A and B are shown apart, each in its own frame.
Chain A
Amino acid sequence: MIELANAAYSYGGGDILTELNLRLAPGSFHFLTGPSGAGKTTLLRLCYMELLPSAGQVNIFDTDVRSMNRDQVATTRRRIGVVHQDCKFLDHLTLAENIALPLDVSGRDSEAEMGNLNDLLSWVGLAGQANSLPPQLSGGERQRAALARAVIMSPDVIIADEPTGNIDWEMALRLLQLLVELNKMGKTILIATHDLNLIRTAKSQTTTRVLRIHNRRLQLAGADL
């Protein structure tokens, strides 16, 4: 699904990440860990084409990202649901409108899919908040809403950047439960986190691989946990 082959990313003349080799198989569950500033977010951004590799190759759904035009990037992103650390909501739209945004931009009728939207809001426990504006929500509610937006297009891959960074443990477990459910439905999951407790809890529930960024390189870190 997503494959990095000797990929590297440089900025301002310095290497941020180098010799990245990674293959996310369909239905796999990966954690990406490492200290703050190690480049976890940069790696995720390479995976959803917000950044292009400065060397090596990044293939997404068997297509080299460098060969994609802007329209292809847009349509490929519809197959990847992303939960950003800061959620990236449009504050002038209601929660329901924010969650339905991927449907709107892809030309699907969000009114016709209102039933699915309501089911999704119930699934993330936000059925009563559909008409709230994002600034009116708590951190946990925002993260769950971001997850709802990430999965509304039924993407093949879900990428989450520190989804539990700003929420309490109880809420983090609830969010993890939702991600595990999605994985059991066949979705490929990649989560960047530095929360080792979260990783241990996930490992107890499903098969996961843990990747670690060390010295700008990607390593398999499962044995350390």
Chain B
Amino acid sequence: MAVFRAISDLLGGDQNAGKVVPPSGYTAQLTTFTAGAMAFLAVFAMALSLATGRLADRWSAELARTATVRISAPAGQMEAQSQAVLKVLETTPGIVSARVLSDQEQRELLAPWFGPDLPIESLPIPRLIEVIETTEGPDIEGLRLRLKGEAPGAVFDDHTRWRRPLIDAAARLRLLAAFSLTLIAVSTGAMITLAANAALSANATVISVLRLVGARDTYIARAFVRRFTLRAFGGAAFGTLIAVIAVWLLPAAADEGAFLTGLGFRGWHWLLPFLIPPFAAFVAFWATRAAAFRTLKGVT
């Protein structure tokens, strides 16, 4: 409650407090520009964070419920081992379905490396069986032992070795984006503190006169806090608006969900950037308030 009272007290509509401080030149523009630029960057960091979060969730969900059985066997045993594997999979709890990939599907999988006309029938390529798991999934170790007994050439791959690095990478990207947002907030606070200190130094005479005629510290601080808070809010609002438009103009995500084209906001996430201007004003409020009271301590 004390915090809200301090905010309303300092931002309260006393126009006289603002009037006694002469209009400052470059510090005003510096604050507005800094807040705008930082808000612009913050929107992109936020978009990156949300996009990596979505990506991690999608990869995790898609890969978590699928597995592959790869059968490497002599040509004469391939069909028998495939049937044996399918039989094992059909009787294993936690498996929804299993099917052998057709030659055409395997050709499509290899097309990026060998081209579309690969004579797959004449090559000793392992046969692949796609497995769809239930949410709980099968007993992996038990399944591997059974497969080893029934089809020695079968290897069960639950995609863990693919999934973990992807999810780790997405999580790290998300962490980096969150760290960037923190850095942006701290940098904004630092820049506004510098600008406020410059304004306070430039107005040392004004501050001294105000104290001598009986002004309380809160009255003097209010003049600076109000000014810097409103400038930061205005600059951040402009920067946010431009960044949101820029994100909106990014190419739409393709069906394949390529990472770069997926950078953006979805649904209610479009509202999140509009938290940035009030947050910038909040940072400016406390940064200027701290700078003002620190300076006023040195004035009798």
Chain A interface (Cβ < 8 Å from any Cβ of B):
48-52, 70-71, 73-75, 77-78, 82, 84, 88-90, 92-93, 97, 101-102, 104-106, 110, 149, 153
Contact = CB atoms under 8 A, between A and B. Distances in A.
B25 to A, nearest CB: 13
A74 B20 contact: no
B9 to A, nearest CB: 12
B123 interface: no
A106 B209 contact: no
A78 B17 CA distance: 17
Max chain B C-beta neighbours (<10 A), residue from A74, A82, A106, A153 = A74
Interface string B17-50: 1011010000000000000000000000000000
A48 B209 contact: no
Contact of A49 (B16, B216, B300): B300
A110 B20 CA distance: 13
17 contacts: A48-B212, A50-B300, A70-B216, A74-B214, A74-B215, A75-B216, A78-B213, A82-B212, A88-B205, A88-B208, A89-B209, A90-B22, A90-B206, A97-B19, A101-B213, A104-B20, A106-B214
A155 B214 CA distance: 12
A77 B300 contact: no
A74 B296 CA distance: 12
B220 to A, nearest CB: 8
Given A74-B217, A105-B216, 19 more contacts: A49-B300, A50-B300, A52-B300, A70-B216, A70-B217, A71-B216, A77-B212, A78-B213, A82-B212, A89-B209, A90-B20, A90-B209, A97-B19, A101-B209, A104-B17, A104-B20, A105-B210, A105-B213, A105-B219
Interface of B: 16-17, 19-20, 22, 205-206, 208-217, 219, 296, 300
Contacts of A104: 16-17, 20
Nearest to A74: B216
Nearest to A81: B213
Nearest to A106: B214
A190 to B, nearest CB: 16
Given A70-B216, A74-B216, A101 B211 contact: no
Interface residues of B, dominant DSSP = helix
Nearest to A104: B16
A93 B20 contact: yes
B209 A88 contact: yes
B227 to A, nearest CB: 14
Contacts of B206: 90
B294 to A, nearest CB: 13
Contacts of B16: 104, 110
B214 A102 contact: yes
B264 to A, nearest CB: 48
Nearest to A70: B217
B216 A77 contact: no
B209 A153 contact: no
Contacts of B300: 49-52, 73
B217 A77 contact: no
Contact of B214 (A51, A88, A97, A153): A153
Contact of A92 (B22, B215, B216, B217): B22
A52 B300 CA distance: 9
A129 to B, nearest CB: 19
B216 A102 contact: no
Max chain A C-beta neighbours (<10 A), residue from B17, B212, B213 = B213
B213 A77 contact: yes
